Structure 1
């Protein structure tokens, strides 16, 4: 009976921990939001470091421009993320393939943990 109580108490904690986004899914979600024109959603995946460096207006303008470009490329077909590292920092690349004729685009990415969530940071 005691083991059942412990399992019942631990289950919600494990469920919440399992819902946390991985660094890879954060990058995928960012590009998906940009591709759909969801600028506010895309901004939510950026670290405070990026926001402080560029400012919210420049970020919004850049994301809107990229969203338009993605639309001209037929939308996003896939996002492949390759990361390495341990702890609160991961680095690697993201390759975005498009449904249209545009060539795939590979970018360096860096992720950091802020308040327990993975956020896209400055890659350099």
Structure 2
């Protein structure tokens, strides 16, 4: 499941990266697109996790297992708070990385292309 979510983030970030045109590096455009849309991603993840907690608690309440439903609500609340803190910290790190992405990631040009440029300069 985690690989599926990471894969979806990768695909969606490339889709958003197509909108960014100020950066020539496609990987940096993808990071900037993820950074600018991190609030939406956080909200969706929290909504999905909250929905899972509510549905699990309601299912146990329907089965008249109040103690298990209460444990699910308490554990789910702790999980939601921890997930939100993790996503907030990740968003901060992603924003810092998106500002310095072009300095940290450079694409190596193919040798033939760099030789053509060198011939044009000389």
TM-score by length of 1: 0.25
Higher strand share: 1
In our comparison, the structure showing a higher alpha carbon Rg is 2
Structure number having the greater helix percentage: 2
Higher relative contact order (CA 8 A, sep 6+): 2
